[in-house]
Amino acid sequence: MADWTANSNDALHLSLVRANKDKEALSDGESFENFHPSFTYPVCNNFPPSFADTAELWGIQIYGEDENIYGYSDLVIDLRIASGSLAQFLDVRYSAKVPSSSTLDDVRGTLEKFIPHGYHQTESDFLARVEEDAVSFRPPGEKISSYTRVAPNSATKGKGAVVTLPEDDPDAIVYEVYHATWKSPGFREYHRRMQLFILLYIEAGSYINEEEDSWEFVILYEKRKRRTTPVTETYHFVGYSSLYPFYCFPDKVRFRLSQFVIVPPYQHQGHGSALYRAIYEYVLTKPNISELTVEDPAEAFEDLRDRNDLRMLLSHTAFMSEGFSADAVSHGGGRVKRTTRTSAQGKGRGKGKVVGGKLGPPSDRAWLERWRKDLKIAARQFHRLVEMLIQLHLNPADTRAIKAYRLQVKERLFRFNYEVLAQLEEKERLEKLEETFHSVYEDYRRILEMMR
């Protein structure tokens, strides 16, 4: 039986296919074809109208929880996707299949339930579509941000270096970020092709409901120059995020980041951070958005969020000056009070580390809340960031500051976990808080180490 069983993650081969002229602009190390999904089991809870005439898909998984396909030898599921327009070609190949059709998994029929109708079934038609779309495709929506990277085939400025180059520099690759809604011309159809990446790369990812009109999207593209005269620029999909606005009393909305994905050929190159920063900067420009929140983040995304939020705060001159400088004018007006901490050895002699400012510890709560609202960061995330910054600046010999910091963190933990902790006896509750504090402290240390 094992000879007829294939792992669906291994059998599914994905490619972001470029036109021939676009391939000529790539360096030897760049590869956008023949990669695999992380998951093929996700539950799909909602499907857009284009899937209405398929079988009922509530709770259906792609290739089952065990991610196995039975009935084929040397199975290859070849799903090729145009790198810009995301037009699709699906081909299923195998060397042999079991004679009995009753136990044979329907590979093509299963995957067809998760991609839009009208995909290409002949390679020649698909490749012709790739060539045509490469020149004609333009991202739907409105451009909100851009950044550049040094081209990997640059001979002078470092391969793929994270440096700033003018967009017209011949060695620059430009990345552009677009904001779109269902009302953006052509976006609804584009999203139906794009959303498959959510199932394949987010654990337990699911399709969103197109009938909910309020969804907004932020999409990242690579804009690449061909080696032609005149220069032709083409767009290639990198990743995207879906966001949903929730009412926030009295007259604003809270923006919740729901899904976030960067396709594998672009991962581990800083593009996830760039997309997250673009979303955050977009939120800052919108007076009607009160804050940016994240829905049930995976650990890897939470780390990405923490790193970028910390870098933002560390580079924010006014916030850091008020938070730690003894001579700063506070965000709410008035002079920041100077506080002197001394080590146990230098107690009373003025030899300890001098710290001061609104971050304390303990932190000035009113000052924190004013800054939190201005920076549009969700409360739990903001207070975690504040705790990390204080920990970064703590003098290990300053017992009074360390005690104040421990109490500040424990108070937040108690409030956040009140319903559970309130049911415990006092002794057990204190032990659990102490245990949780040390766990949080070590996790902050891990995150801060990544910032070095």
Q: Confirm if 298 and 310 have CB atoms less than 8 A apart.
A: no
For the annotated binding site, the residues are 260-262, 267-273, 307
Among this protein's residues, is 295 annotated catalytic?
yes
Q: What are phi and psi of 60, to 5 degrees?
A: -80, 140
For the annotated binding site for acetyl-CoA, the residues are 260-262, 267-273, 307
Out of 295, 369, 411, 435, the active site residue is 295
Other residues' Cβ atoms within 10 Å of the Cβ of residue 257: 21
Question: From CA 313, how far away is CA 291, in angstroms rounded?
Answer: 16
The 3-class secondary structure across the chain, one letter per residue, is CHHHEEEHHHHEEEEEECCHHHHHCCCCCCCCCCECCCCCCCECCCCCHHHCCCCCCCCCECCCCCCEEECEECCEEEEEEECCCCCEEEEEECCEECCCHHHCCCHHHHHHCCCCCCCECCHHHHHHHHHHHHHHCCCCCEEEEEEEEECCCCCCCCCCCCCCCCCCCCCEEEEEEEEEECCCCCHHHHHHHHCHHHHHHCCCCCCCCCCCCCCEEEEEEEEEECCCCCCCEEEEEEEEEEEEEEEECCCEEEEEEEEEEECHHHCCCCHHHHHHHHHHHHHHCCCCEEEEEECCCCHHHHHHHHHHHHHHHHCCHHHHHHHHCCCCECCCCCECCEEECCCCCCCCCCCCCEEECCCCCCCCHHHHHHHHHHHCECHHHHHHHHHHHHHHHCCCCCHHHHHHHHHHHHHHHHHHCHHHHCCCCHHHHHHHHHHHHHHHHHHHHHHHHHCC
Q: Just list the catalytic residues.
A: 295
